[in-house]
Amino acid sequence: KVADVVVVNVSGDAGLKALSEGRSRVRAQGASGGIVAGVNAAVVTAEDNSSASTVIGQGADLRAAELTLSALARPQLSAEGLGVALGGYLAMGGTVLKANANSSAALDVQNDAQLRANSATLRAAVERNGNNPSVSASGVGVVGGFGLSANAVLAEANNNTTSLLRTAASSRLIGIGRQADWNLVANTSSRQYASTTGVTLGFLSLGAHVSNAFSDSSTRAEVNSQFGGSLGTVRVAATANIDSEASATAGQGGVVSGNAAAASTRDDGETVAEWLARGIGGAALEAERAELDALHTSRVNSFVSTLNAALVGASGAFANNRVNARVRSELLSSSNLEVADYAQNALGNFIKPSASGF
Q: What is the pLDDT of residue 309?
A: 67
Radius of gyration of the chain (CA): 26
3-state class (DSSP) for residue 281 = helix
Q: What is the pLDDT of residue 336?
A: 96
Q: What is the pLDDT of residue 357?
A: 47
What CA–CA distance (Å, rounded) separates 58 from 62?
A: 12
Mean pLDDT by 10 residues, the chain (358 residues): 90 93 81 66 85 96 95 94 75 84 96 96 95 91 76 90 97 91 97 88 78 96 96 97 92 73 94 97 94 97 80 76 95 95 96 68
Q: What is the pLDDT of residue 259?
A: 77
Q: What is the pLDDT of residue 153?
A: 85
3-state class (DSSP) for residue 225 = coil
On whether the pTM is more than 0.85, the answer is yes
What CA–CA distance (Å, rounded) separates 148 from 41?
A: 17
Q: What is the pLDDT of residue 199?
A: 79
